[in-house]
């Protein structure tokens, strides 16, 4: 679905009294390169061709077809008659020729020269799956209206979700593949007009929408058609997840909305924010204390960092650090046996700045069936070169210590850090430390993988998946 404009030129084009229609589509997406502009956002990435069919009282007059390109696309339909009611049908098609969306305009009378018209492309009603959040659903609860949904490459699916008045406020809408193979997700109002978002990353498959207190309808387009690093060129399976969005900023004292961010309290993070989607403004979050930031419930935790103050842009640095000698790690995921957290950490720097009295220092520890994804992150073991293990104690520093964990790392850097011990005790600094065997989806890449695990930056494309099992 997309808004289509026929934009007027500054100098009219008049040819023997005929009219010229010029269609400009901005912000369009191609399968290889996506360009987000200020114009329409509703053309599916799977769109290969946009065609315009013009007909009148005597039948079809002209059909124009244009292949989609990155950036602005123009469709010109010249030599159209004046004074005659015309019918325009605009269609978008995928590479297989299937119609994705279309719009119809009836009884259009054109003036001499170029004309400006507007239409809204929509999917066929039969292609939209209608869903309703149950009225009994508590406002803090997550909801998964669609699970284990398959999405072939170049496929687009549409959903219409009714949010009742009991399930309102800022909601994170995410198509979660369970990996870092992202799909495209766009949101629209009940009329398939682009919907204003609190924040969004359509290329990562998510948006945050503020649902009014009276409830609302949100239309959703999901498409698996981008061929860029971090995207698959095969089919995916995922779930459409709705969770409450909570916003954090340094020095804040609010309720956790985007307009009134909350203050991060590490000791209560697991209790208050399991099955929540957490968004962090840029800055250094010092979580030094007697306990690490824990995520140990059977729940989903989505953490996103790097946001500007208005939550509209990313690319800044959100850093979690700890200088405590009593904390073994900055993050502790899955510390409780019998619970299975699913955690996504996207665009953070996590840094331990001291060894403990036992000689340990890790950015993150994960265990006990955790499913952990690190994406666009930098994790550093002990970075304090003056921190030394106590006399008679060995030193061990690392970015990630994991056991019984499914660990997926994408576009990230792991640094072992500084491990200093007094002889004859040993000292080891390693980027990633498994307490079990390592298995990888790409055995042929293991030598290169091990180089990265010694702290060298990894290539800026692709994904390595690592799993450790007891």
Percent of the chain with pLDDT over 90: 54
> What pTM was estimated for this model as a whole?
0.86
Which range in 22-36, 349-363, 445-459 is most confidently predicted, on average pLDDT?
349-363
Of the candidates 461, 464, 468, the residue with the CA atom closest to the CA atom of residue 451: 464
pLDDT for 209: 97
Residue with tokens 């990313």: 314
Of 196 and 33, the one with more pLDDT: 196
- Would the pLDDT of 60 be above 60? yes
Confidence tier at 425 by pLDDT (50, 70, 90): confident
For 114-167, write each residue's pLDDT tens digit. 887 777 888 999 999 999 999 888 899 999 999 999 999 999 999 999 999 999
For 233-258, write each residue's pLDDT tens digit. 889 999 999 999 999 999 999 999 99
Collapse the DSSP code of 40 into the 3-class scheme (helix H, G, I; strand E, B; otherwise coil) and give the result: coil
Report the relative pairing of strands 118-120 and 329-333 from DSSP bridges. Answer: unpaired
Report the relative pairing of strands 19-28 and 128-132 from DSSP bridges. Answer: unpaired
Q: Decide: 56 and 248 in contact? Cβ < 8 Å.
A: no
Take residue 461 and report the two structure tokens written for it: 């494309």
Mean pLDDT of 313-322: 95
Take residue 33 and report the two structure tokens written for it: 């390169």
Q: Which DSSP state fits 95? A: T
Which parts of 46-142 are beta strand (E)? 49-56, 59-67, 71-80, 86-93, 99-108, 113-115, 118-120, 128-132
Strand partners, 197: none
pLDDT for 308: 97
Mean pLDDT of 202-216: 94
- Would the pLDDT of 432 be above 90? no
- Would the pLDDT of 199 be above 50? yes
For 8-25, write each residue's pLDDT tens digit. 222 233 333 478 776 665
CA distance 144 to 174: 10
Collapse the DSSP code of 288 into the 3-class scheme (helix H, G, I; strand E, B; otherwise coil) and give the result: coil
CA distance 215 to 213: 5
Query: What are the two backbone dihedrals, phi and then psi, of residue 406, each rounded to the nearest 5 degrees?
Result: -90, 115
Q: Decide: 33 and 74 in contact? Cβ < 8 Å.
A: no
Take residue 269 and report the two structure tokens written for it: 């993070």
Collapse the DSSP code of 194 into the 3-class scheme (helix H, G, I; strand E, B; otherwise coil) and give the result: strand
């Amino acid at each position: 679905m997309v808004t289509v404009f026929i934009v007027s030129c500054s100098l009219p084009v008049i040819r023997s009294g005929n009219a010229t229609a010029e269609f400009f589509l901005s912000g369009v997406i191609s399968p290889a390169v996506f360009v987000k502009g200020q114009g329409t956002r509703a053309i599916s990435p799977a769109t290969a061709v946009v065609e315009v069919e013009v007909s009148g009282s005597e039948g079809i007059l002209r059909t124009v077809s244009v292949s989609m390109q990155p950036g602005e696309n123009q469709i010109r339909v010249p030599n159209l008659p004046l004074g005659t009611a015309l019918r325009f049908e605009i269609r978008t098609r995928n590479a297989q020729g299937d119609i994705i969306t279309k719009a119809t305009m009836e009884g259009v009378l054109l003036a001499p020269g170029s004309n400006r018209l507007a239409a809204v492309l929509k999917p066929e009603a039969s292609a939209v799956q209608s869903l309703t959040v149950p009225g009994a659903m508590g406002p803090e609860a997550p909801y998964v209206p669609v699970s284990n949904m398959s999405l072939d490459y170049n496929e687009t699916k549409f959903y219409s979700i009714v949010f009742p008045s009991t399930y309102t406020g800022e909601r994170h809408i995410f198509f979660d593949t369970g990996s870092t193979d992202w799909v495209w997700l766009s949101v629209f109002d009940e009329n398939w007009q682009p919907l204003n978002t609190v924040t969004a990353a359509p290329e990562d498959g998510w948006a945050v929408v503020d649902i009014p207190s009276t409830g609302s309808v949100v239309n959703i387009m999901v498409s698996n058609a981008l061929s860029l690093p971090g995207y698959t060129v095969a089919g995916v399976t995922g779930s459409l997840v709705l969770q409450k969005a909570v916003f954090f900023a340094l020095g804040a004292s609010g309720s956790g909305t985007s307009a009134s961010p909350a203050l991060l309290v590490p000791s209560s993070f697991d209790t208050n924010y399991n099955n929540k989607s957490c968004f962090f403004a840029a800055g250094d979050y010092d979580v030094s204390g007697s306990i690490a930031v824990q995520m140990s419930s059977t729940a989903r935790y989505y953490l996103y960092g790097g946001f500007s103050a208005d939550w509209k842009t990313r690319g800044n640095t959100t850093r979690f650090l700890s200088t405590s000698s009593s904390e073994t790690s900055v993050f502790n995921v899955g510390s409780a046996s019998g619970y299975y957290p699913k955690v996504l950490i996207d665009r953070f720097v996590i840094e331990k700045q001291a060894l403990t009295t036992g000689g340990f220092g890790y950015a993150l520890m994960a265990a006990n069936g955790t499913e952990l994804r690190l994406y666009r992150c930098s994790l550093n073991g002990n970075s304090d070169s003056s921190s030394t293990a106590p006399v008679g104690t060995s030193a061990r520093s690392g970015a990630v210590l994991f056991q019984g964990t499914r660990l997926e790392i994408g576009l990230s850097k792991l640094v072992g850090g500084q491990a200093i011990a007094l002889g004859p005790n040993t000292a080891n600094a390693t980027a990633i430390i498994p307490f079990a065997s390592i298995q990888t989806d790409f055995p042929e890449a293991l030598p290169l993988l091990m180089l990265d695990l010694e702290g060298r930056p990894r290539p800026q494309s692709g994904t390595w998946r690592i799993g450790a099992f007891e």
